[in-house]
């Protein structure tokens, strides 16, 4: 049965959110982690790079479900599309980091083959912020930690889609229970695999929102299973923090997980409340749609290069010594970043705007 396309206003909104999340991550690394410093107020404004990554997880689940659930072509074709989305820009980012380290005469000190290999097989995470990490991203590229999670979510989606076909009511609770149990296990014996499973619920919540939108039933009831389990996950993170303390600080385990799961819960709740409100007020929805139409083109462009900005900004603007020497070198590096982000999008052939141009369908 054919499914309706996502509303144009929603597509524009998703583009805008994705682009803004990428800019937040870039600004966070440039300002808040003191790559360039800046006024305290700027560091405070751009202190939410971690929350922006949760936005990416939700958007990723949304887009993958909207474009891949019930799509013809089989699991092999699906995995090829997803891995083509991730790997070409990632490999180029690693090559850039190697080249930059060589140019800065840091290659011998900074190049660790195990980190590069670990990243290529999706095992990387940020060991400074959480225990149980197998390998850190190479060249201290903090942005790359989330890609190991994304790849794992891509790999498990065919299993979740199959389960959803067979047990549509049970599957959301199954995902939630697995994630909650995984995080409980992590608090006792930290490990990368169980932490990835804990975050699967965040990604799945994005998929659940896509399913609800495509079935035209977005609201608290449709998203109740995800909200229930996200709330439980957040509560467990809060309990862990109260029990073990916040010695690691605002940016580290366990308080980091309170931020992650808390913002995911808040965002899904916001969607569950706002979407039916707009549906009940057509005039307000129409006005919002007209406003979004005015930013459709720039939003689509920014969204299409968001992944390139995400993976290339570290080697070009943070790791490389050249842009730190003055405004003109920084401008040169920034233009190079923009050019590579555009080229990376064209190469991968997977910009968010293009993915949304065709109608998407879902079983109802």
Please tell me the predicted confidence (pLDDT) of residue 89. 94
Tens-place pLDDT, residues 87-118? 999 999 999 999 999 999 999 999 999 999 99
CB atoms within 10 A of CB 4: 14
Nearest to 35 by CA among 361, 329, 320, 346: 320
Q: What is the mean pLDDT of the chain?
A: 90
Residue 56 lies in a domain: yes
Please tell me the predicted confidence (pLDDT) of residue 358. 42
- Do you find a cis peptide bond into 254, omega within 30 degrees of 0? yes
Residue 308 lies in a domain: yes
Residue 344 lies in a domain: yes
Q: Residue 218 belongs to what H/E stretch?
A: none
* Residues in CB range of 211: below 8 A, 6 or more apart: 65, 69, 362
- Tokens representing residue 220 in the block: 């608290």
Please tell me the predicted confidence (pLDDT) of residue 92. 95
Buried b (16+ CB within 10 A) or exposed e, 159-173: ebbeebeeeeeebbe
Please tell me the predicted confidence (pLDDT) of residue 144. 97
Residue 264 lies in a domain: yes
**Alpha-carbon distance 167 to 160, whole Å?**
10
Residue 51 lies in a domain: yes
Terminal-to-terminal C-alpha distance of the chain: 8
Distance of CA 99 to the CA centre of its chain: 27
Residue 359 lies in a domain: no
Residue 358 lies in a domain: no
pLDDT tens digits in sequence order for the chain, 364 residues long: 455 578 888 889 999 999 999 999 999 999 877 667 667 777 878 889 999 999 999 999 999 999 999 888 899 999 999 999 899 999 999 999 999 999 999 999 999 999 999 999 999 999 999 999 999 999 999 999 999 999 999 999 999 999 999 999 999 999 999 999 999 999 999 999 999 999 999 999 999 999 999 999 999 999 999 999 999 999 999 999 999 887 778 889 999 999 999 999 999 999 999 999 988 898 888 888 888 888 888 989 999 999 999 999 999 999 999 999 999 999 999 999 999 999 887 765 544 334 444 434 333 2
CB atoms within 10 A of CB 40: 7
**Alpha-carbon distance 121 to 118, whole Å?**
5
The neighbouring-strand residues paired with 321 are: none
Please tell me the predicted confidence (pLDDT) of residue 357. 41
Please tell me the predicted confidence (pLDDT) of residue 29. 92
Please tell me the predicted confidence (pLDDT) of residue 246. 77
Tens-place pLDDT, residues 26-79? 999 998 776 676 677 778 788 899 999 999 999 999 999 999 998 888 999 999
Count of structural domains, the chain: 1
Domain region containing 292: 8-352
CB 320 within 8 A of CB 33: no
């Amino acid at each position: 049965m054919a499914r309706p396309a996502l509303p144009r206003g929603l597509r524009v909104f998703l583009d805008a959110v994705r682009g803004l999340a990428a800019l937040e991550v870039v600004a966070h690394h440039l300002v808040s982690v003191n790559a360039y410093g800046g006024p305290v107020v700027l560091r405070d404004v751009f202190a939410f790079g971690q929350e922006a990554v949760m936005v990416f997880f939700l958007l990723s689940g949304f887009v993958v479900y909207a474009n891949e659930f019930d799509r013809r072509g089989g699991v092999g074709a699906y995995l090829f599309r997803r891995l083509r989305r991730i790997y070409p820009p990632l490999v180029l980012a690693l090559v850039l980091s190697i080249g930059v380290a060589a140019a800065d005469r840091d290659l011998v000190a900074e190049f660790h083959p195990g980190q590069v290999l670990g990243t290529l097989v999706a095992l990387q995470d940020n060991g400074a912020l959480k225990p149980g990490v197998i390998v850190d991203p190479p060249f201290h590229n903090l942005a790359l930690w989330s890609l190991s999670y994304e790849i794992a979510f891509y790999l498990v989606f065919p299993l979740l889609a199959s389960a959803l076909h067979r047990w549509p009511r049970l599957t959301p609770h199954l995902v939630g229970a697995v994630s909650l149990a995984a995080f409980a296990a992590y608090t006792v014996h930290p490990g990368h695999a169980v932490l990835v499973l804990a975050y699967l619920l965040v990604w799945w919540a994005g998929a659940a929102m896509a399913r609800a939108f495509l079935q035209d039933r977005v609201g608290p009831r449709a998203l109740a299973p995800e909200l229930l389990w996200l709330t439980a996950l957040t509560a467990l993170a809060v309990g862990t923090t109260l029990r073990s303390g916040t010695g690691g600080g605002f940016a580290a385990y366990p308080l980091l997980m309170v931020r992650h799961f808390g913002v995911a819960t808040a965002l899904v709740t916001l969607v569950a409340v706002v979407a039916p409100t707009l549906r009940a007020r057509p005039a307000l929805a129409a006005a919002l749609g007209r406003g979004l139409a005015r930013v459709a083109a720039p939003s689509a462009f920014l969204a299409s290069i968001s992944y390139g900005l995400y993976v290339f900004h570290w080697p070009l603007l943070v790791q490389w010594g050249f842009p730190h020497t003055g405004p003109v070198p920084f401008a040169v590096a920034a233009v190079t970043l923009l050019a590579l982000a555009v080229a990376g999008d064209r190469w991968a052939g997977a910009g968010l705007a293009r993915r949304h141009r065709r109608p998407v369908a879902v079983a109802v």
